[in-house]
Amino acid sequence: MSKVVIVGAGPVGTLAALYFAKDGWNVELYDLREDPRLERGNRASTGKSINLALSHRGIEGLRGASPELAEMIMKNVIPIYGRMIHDSNGNQKSQKYDVHGLHINAVDRGWLNAVLLDEAEKKPNVRLFFKHQLVNCDFPRRTAKFTKDNEAIEVKAELFVGADGAYSTVRRQMMRAAPMDYEQKYIDAMWCEISIPPKQMSDGSEAYALDPNHLHIWPRKTFMLMSLANIGQDKSFTGTLFMPKELYDDITYPLDLVDFFHSQFPDAIDLIGADYLQSQFFNNPKGHLISIKCSPYHYSDRAVIIGDSAHAMVPFYGQGMNCGFEDVVQLFQHIRESNSIASALELYTKTRKEDLFAISDLAMGNYVEMRSSVTSKLYLMRKGTEEFLYKHVPSLGVKTLYNMVSFSSTPYHIALQRSILQGRMFKAAFAGVGIGIIGLTAYGVLRARRVWEK
């Protein structure tokens, strides 16, 4: 029986462990952290959002590991049907994700990770190792060295899988062993977690302060606040403030912060409370946002990287985990269909690269959309036209880009290409005198569709 060593016990690495175990491999799953199931009550020290957006690609990944597991997880999510846009006067307007009611799902990050680890621990051919730091890999010898409590530990395996995040040690070891193209970017925005507490009701109970079935966004052109409901008894929201460093630097004193929120997010400060806002802003860490592209994703038949190790992306499309789960699905499709691990890994790199580069670019672009474009008349006009055609003339195959990315398995690069072609048609239509816009658009998209299908 072949043995695989997976480095990184986050959701993507643990899902990979379930797939390997299902296919009969002996699996050893290593992580630098303490077992996260022991840290559930210690989230505040990290400042890291507890929410993840689970959508079609991620759900399919879970189903591939276990339909029963996926069904159980889907009973513990909050459906999110669209964005709720908050203007500078505190007015709210809903923008639904899909005309047929399709939705993404808010899921607790720590809970999901714990559920996957519990499932992996049940497997007789899976072993979990925490507080193990990867030092180096010797791929020709098929060995890796870890340390725990200052003790060196060498392990052997037929295959090493890196799921150890944006700053992946496995990826660095692969770069030492063979040429790898690598690009790293930080965007001009930092983030800080700003939670919204539950609303106290007259009977002493607690309720959500905002509609829990929407992603709430306060778009302000160059910066934004966004918030997503938490799952559990406290009925709180996890909010995140995204804005350039210079704006953070301008807020030096508590009064600066209160004035800033009163002018930009007046309804939010009423919900958060000035004192709680100040405590969070000045005590929670401020993080940078990184985007990483690289290729290849494998080394010979010895190693492969998945998830953030292969494609760390900014969070604005909610596809980081979903894309990582899809990595696992596609990797195993090649493993199961190929006659060797070497050919499977080579095909994985060859077929995955274009999609991973595309979703990285889409995530970058969605930051502009969320903080600015969602209030644009042109954006809303195009969205309305695409949704009209999607609903009333489905044979054309017109869908919004968000629909193709979040509610289907359409390859990311194909979704991007289709969106660009649709955009050209709409631009040509909108440039006219306004007569026959829908018909002209439908004709153009139908022609474009014939190109896609060739």
Within-domain flag for 140: yes
Tell me: pLDDT of 453 over 80: no
d(CA 200, CA 186) in angstroms, rounded, equals: 40
pLDDT of residue 402: 94
Within-domain flag for 101: no
Number of domains making up the chain: 3
Helix (H, G, I), strand (E, B) or coil at 355: helix
The CATH number of whichever domain residue 321 belongs to comes to: 3.50.50.60
Going by pLDDT thresholds of 50, 70 and 90, the confidence category of residue 49 is low
Shared-domain flag, residues 135 and 37: yes
Specify whether the backbone of 300 is left (phi greater than 0), alpha (psi in -120 to 50) or beta. Answer: left
Shared-domain flag, residues 271 and 141: no
Instruction: Name every residue whose Cβ is closer than 8 Å to that of residue 384 and which is 6 or more positions away in sequence.
Output: none
pLDDT tens-digit readout, 305-328: 999 999 999 999 999 999 999 999
Domain span including residue 264: 186-288
Query: How crowded is the C-beta side of 359, counted as CA atoms within 13 Å?
Result: 30
User: What's the pTM?
Assistant: 0.91
Nearest to 182 by CA among 311, 58, 96, 7: 311
Going by pLDDT thresholds of 50, 70 and 90, the confidence category of residue 44 is very low
Is residue 367 within 8 Å of 314, Cβ to Cβ?
yes
Please say which residue of 221, 255, 288 terminates a domain: 288
d(CA 292, CA 347) in angstroms, rounded, equals: 21
Nearest to 303 by CA among 171, 181, 128, 111: 171
Residues in the chain, total = 454
Tell me: pLDDT of 65 over 60: yes
Shared-domain flag, residues 273 and 417: no
pLDDT tens-digit readout, 247-295: 999 999 999 999 999 999 999 999 999 999 999 999 999 999 999 999 9
